[in-house]
Amino acid sequence: MFSGKRAEFEALVHSYSAELYRYAYSLSRDRVCAEDLVQETFARAWSSWTRLRDTRAAKKWLYTILRNEHARLYERKRLDLLEDQDLDALEERGVTTVFERVEVREALERLPAGYREPLLLQVLGGFSCDEIAKIMQLTPGATMTRLSRARLALRRASGRSGGKEETA
């Protein structure tokens, strides 16, 4: 029985490790920290593996563990906030060149975590608004608001207004 559970868990690790790493890296912006977060996520998942009732919920479960592990890094750390930071100064747009990809990545990094995190869960994790709300312990309405504001901020950062463009 143990070898069956182990094989099932190894398949889970193989399936989600790269995806979890991308999410961890986008949260921490540090390769070593992202690797540690993924490792700790799988260690905690393994220790609780027998308690997982529905293996179809494993992806959401792993993302939740990773998010909680990332939060633990900052439980005691006080972050300095910029009072004049304009949250609406960034935005999303289609990326076609390497330069544009770098610009989008930098704009994502400038987003406050409260906006960046749900956007990454949706884009990288493929989670629905309701799933993101459960992972982040928010209401679906608050989640939709954060997703909308994150996209608007990315659009503004890219120089697009999000509305109709004026012609000269």
pLDDT at 152: 85
Select from 38, 73, 108 the last residue of a domain.
73
| 126 and 63 belong to one structural domain | no
pLDDT at 100: 67
Select from 73, 107, 123 the last residue of a domain.
73
Give the count of domains, the chain: 2
pLDDT at 20: 92
Contacts with 165 (C-beta within 8 Å, 6 or more apart), sequence order = none
Q: What CATH number is associated with residue 137? A: 1.10.10.10
Contact 157, 90 (CB under 8 A): yes
| 6 and 65 belong to one structural domain | yes
Measure the CA–CA gap between 137 and 71, rounded to whole angstroms.
13
Tens-digit pLDDT string for the chain (168 aa):
456 778 888 888 898 999 999 999 988 888 988 999 999 999 988 888 877 777 778 888 899 899 888 888 766 555 454 455 444 443 434 445 666 667 777 778 888 888 888 888 888 788 888 888 888 898 989 988 998 888 888 777 766 554 444 443
pLDDT at 88: 46
Report how far apart, in Å, the C-alpha atoms of 100 and of each of 75, 96, 123, 157, 159 are: 34, 7, 18, 11, 12
Residue 105 lies in a domain: yes
pLDDT at 21: 93
pLDDT at 76: 54
| 114 and 64 belong to one structural domain | no
pLDDT at 57: 80
pLDDT at 18: 92
CA 24 to chain centre: 7
Residue-number span of the structural domain to which 150 is assigned:
98-157
Contact 61, 52 (CB under 8 A): yes
Q: What CATH number is associated with residue 12? A: 1.10.1740.10
| 64 and 7 belong to one structural domain | yes
pLDDT at 35: 92
